[in-house]
């Protein structure tokens, strides 16, 4: 109210001053009252005009975007302008803070590894993060306000949105058809709905692999067990000659060995998957390792192949001796098993110009068709199942090799031509290879 008194005083002063001036300047023919009234009225009119001008300036400022300061007048209009401006600035500050908070909130949702899609009561898209856009094949800006079921037409998704209860998530193929999405719906606000999506392609693939693995292991174990059970029954109920008995026991031993090899390979795989990577500063001398592999291969080949081993003297590889032995042994025993009698098998080591090292196992065996090569390292993948089993294979050898290679930061390269032979190369990075300075 500090503007009221000065304003009243200004009015009274203007009236008085106007009255006095009117009295002095008017001619004597007019009455005194008339002269004072006309003078006072003129004074008040001047004050009203000034007031109107100030009010006009304030209204003009209010009509604009209020970027500039409000007109700084004294008195009534000054205080009004100041208070209006202050409340506008406070509201602007509040809005800026709200906007910042909203942006922080949205960028937190944006950072989520899961998709978040907000739908209004008509299932129109209100907002979605980029993960959801990717999952559902949406454009976050262009598709705003669009009905989601017009854009995502997967029947399972549409049925799920229309269902009454959404306690469980629903899985359906991604719109691009190269994966699986898991979607969960949660209501919020008034009729709004939040769609949370997760790409479960890897999880599903792992689950399928696990199921296949269990089925394969069961199958691999059941076959020798069935054979053994048959032999036991035969021996229990039939009188066998000494020759027959020997033959049956031989076959039983073979089946038992097959199961032993399978279990041993399974344990090796489990160990490879469950243990930390081999140390990069544990140096394994290659020569004794190759000598051991050569001895095993000669025993397996029993003189049916021409076998050579070259290179590797003084070379050391950083890693696990048993794992490296297992990998090379698998490659060489495969070469023996898949190379017909009279064939040639060469195991070579050479340092490459960039410091890395290559251990290659080449054979002149049956070879492998091109389309099988990418799948050879899958567990239980066999090109020729009966040949593999007949020669004591488990279908796990190259899977073990792949694990060992990965754990040593190395690479496995397979080249093969059907009928001509195969070449399996293990390339170890320079950091894991060193050539020891030979003692004089
Ligand atoms: P397996 O115990 O059956 O030999 P592996 O995982 O070692 O299993 O090999 C997978 C498949 O790759 C084999 O079944 C075989 O068909 C093929 N294979 C592996 N090594 C060779 C090779 N040197 N020559 C031809 N085929 C091979």
Q: Which tens digits make up the pLDDT trace of 239-298?
A: 889 999 999 999 999 999 999 999 999 999 999 988 899 989 899 999 999 999 999 999
Cβ–ligand 1 contact at 35 (below 6 Å): no
Confidence at residue 1, expressed as pLDDT on a 0 to 100 scale: 56
pTM of the full predicted structure? 0.69
192-199/421-428 β-pairing? unpaired
Confidence at residue 440, expressed as pLDDT on a 0 to 100 scale: 39
**Which class does domain 283-439 fall in?**
alpha beta
pLDDT by residue for the chain (440 residues), tens only, comes to: 566 777 788 778 888 887 788 777 766 666 777 777 877 888 888 888 988 898 898 898 888 888 888 888 777 888 888 899 999 999 999 999 999 999 999 899 999 999 999 999 999 999 999 999 999 999 988 999 999 999 998 899 999 999 888 889 999 888 777 889 999 999 998 889 999 999 999 999 999 989 999 999 999 999 899 999 999 999 999 888 999 999 999 999 999 999 999 999 999 999 998 889 998 989 999 999 999 999 999 999 999 999 999 999 999 999 999 999 999 999 999 999 999 999 999 999 999 999 999 999 999 999 999 999 999 999 999 998 888 888 888 999 999 999 999 999 999 999 999 999 999 999 999 999 999 765 43
Q: What token pair was written down for 180? A: 């699986």
Cβ atoms of 185 and 160 closer than 8 Å: yes
Cβ–ligand 1 contact at 388 (below 6 Å): yes
Cβ–ligand 1 contact at 404 (below 6 Å): no
Determine which residue's CA is closest to atom 7 belonging to ligand 1.
Answer: 397
Does domain 113-199 fall into CATH 3.40.50.970? no
Cβ–ligand 1 contact at 334 (below 6 Å): yes
Cβ–ligand 1 contact at 363 (below 6 Å): yes
Q: What token pair was written down for 251? A: 């076959």
- CA dist 293 and 349 (Å) reads 13
Q: CA angle at residue 361 from 355 to 364, to 5 degrees?
A: 140
Cβ atoms of 311 and 362 closer than 8 Å: no
Domains in the chain: boundaries: 4-89, 113-199, 203-274, 283-439
Cβ–ligand 1 contact at 384 (below 6 Å): yes
By most ligand atoms within 8 Å of CB, the mutation choice from 268, 334, 383, 412 for ligand 1 is: 334
CA of 291 to the centre of ligand 1 (A): 22
Determine which residue's CA is closest to atom 23 belonging to ligand 1.
Answer: 335
Q: What token pair was written down for 254? A: 């073979």
Going from the C-alpha of 333 to that of each of 75, 260, 302, 338, 388, the distances in angstroms are: 103, 17, 12, 9, 11
Cβ–ligand 1 contact at 428 (below 6 Å): no
Cβ atoms of 89 and 68 closer than 8 Å: no
Q: What is the largest CA-CA distance in the chain?
A: 166
411-417/344-351 β-pairing? unpaired
Domain 203-274 belongs to what architecture? Answer: Orthogonal Bundle (1.10)
Of 428, 298, 294, the C-alpha closest to 350 is 428
> Strand ranges (DSSP E) for 200-352?
283-285, 306-310, 315-318, 344-351
By most ligand atoms within 8 Å of CB, the mutation choice from 219, 397, 414 for ligand 1 is: 397
> Which residues lie across from 361 on neighbouring strands?
347, 424
């Amino acid at each position: 109210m500090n503007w009221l008194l000065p304003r009243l005083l200004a009015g009274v002063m203007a009236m008085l001053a106007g009255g006095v001036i009117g009295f002095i300047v008017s001619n004597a023919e007019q009455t005194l009252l008339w002269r004072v009234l006309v003078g006072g009225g003129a004074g008040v009119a001047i004050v009203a005009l000034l007031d109107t001008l100030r009010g006009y300036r304030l209204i003009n400022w209010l009509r604009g975007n209020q970027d500039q300061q409000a007109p700084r007048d004294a008195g009534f209009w000054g205080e009004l302008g100041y208070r209006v401006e202050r409340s506008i600035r406070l509201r602007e500050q509040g809005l800026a803070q709200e906007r910042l908070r909203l942006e922080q909130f949205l960028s937190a949702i944006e950072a989520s590894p899961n998709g978040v899609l907000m739908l209004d009561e008509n299932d129109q898209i209100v907002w979605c993060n980029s993960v959801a856009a990717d999952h559902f094949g949406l454009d976050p800006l262009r598709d705003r306000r669009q009905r989601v079921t017009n854009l995502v037409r997967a029947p399972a998704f549409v049925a799920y949105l229309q269902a009454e209860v959404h306690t469980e998530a629903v899985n359906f193929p991604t719109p691009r058809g190269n994966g699986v999405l898991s979607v969960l719906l949660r209501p919020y606000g008034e009729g709004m709905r939040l769609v949370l999506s997760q790409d479960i392609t890897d999880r599903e693939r792992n689950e399928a692999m696990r199921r296949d693995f269990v089925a394969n292991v069961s199958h691999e174990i059941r076959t020798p067990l069935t054979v053994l059970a048959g032999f036991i029954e035969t021996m229990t109920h039939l009188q066998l000659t000494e020759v027959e008995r020997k033959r049956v026991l031989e076959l039983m031993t073979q089946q038992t060995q097959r199961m032993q090899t399978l279990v041993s390979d399974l344990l090796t795989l489990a160990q490879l998957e469950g243990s930390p990577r081999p140390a990069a500063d544990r140096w394994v001398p290659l020569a004794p390792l190759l000598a051991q592999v050569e001895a095993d291969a000669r025993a397996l080949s029993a003189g049916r192949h021409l076998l050579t081993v070259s290179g590797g003297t003084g070379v050391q590889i950083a890693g696990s001796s048993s794992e490296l032995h297992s990998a090379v042994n698998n490659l060489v025993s495969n070469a023996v098993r898949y190379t017909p009698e009279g064939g040639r098998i060469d195991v070579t080591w050479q340092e490459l110009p960039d410091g890395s090292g290559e251990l290659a196992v080449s054979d002149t065996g049956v070879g492998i068709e091109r389309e099988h090569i990418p799948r050879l390292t899958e567990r239980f993948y066999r090109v020729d199942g009966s040949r593999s089993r007949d020669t004591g294979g488990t279908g796990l050898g190259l899977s073990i090799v792949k694990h060992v290679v990965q754990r040593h930061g190395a690479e496995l390269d397979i080249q093969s031509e059907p009928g001509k032979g195969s070449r399996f190369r293990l390339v170890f990075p320079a950091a894991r290879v060193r050539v020891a300075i030979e003692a004089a």
